[in-house]
Amino acid sequence: SSRFQSILHTNHVPSPLEITEIRDLLRAPEQELMQIDAEIAKLQSRRVILDTFVTAHRALLSPIRRIPNE
Q: In a structure prediction context, what are the per-residue pLDDT tens digits for the chain, which is 70 residues long?
A: 899 999 999 999 999 999 999 999 999 999 999 999 999 999 999 999 999 999 999 999 988 877 888 7
Please give the DSSP secondary-structure letter assigned to residue 14: -
Model pLDDT, residue 13: 97
pTM given for the model: 0.73
* pLDDT at residue 44, rounded to an integer: 99
- pLDDT confidence of residue 28: 98
Distance CA 63, CA 29 (A): 52
CA-to-CA dists, residue 2 to 5, 19, 28, 66, angstroms: 5, 14, 13, 65
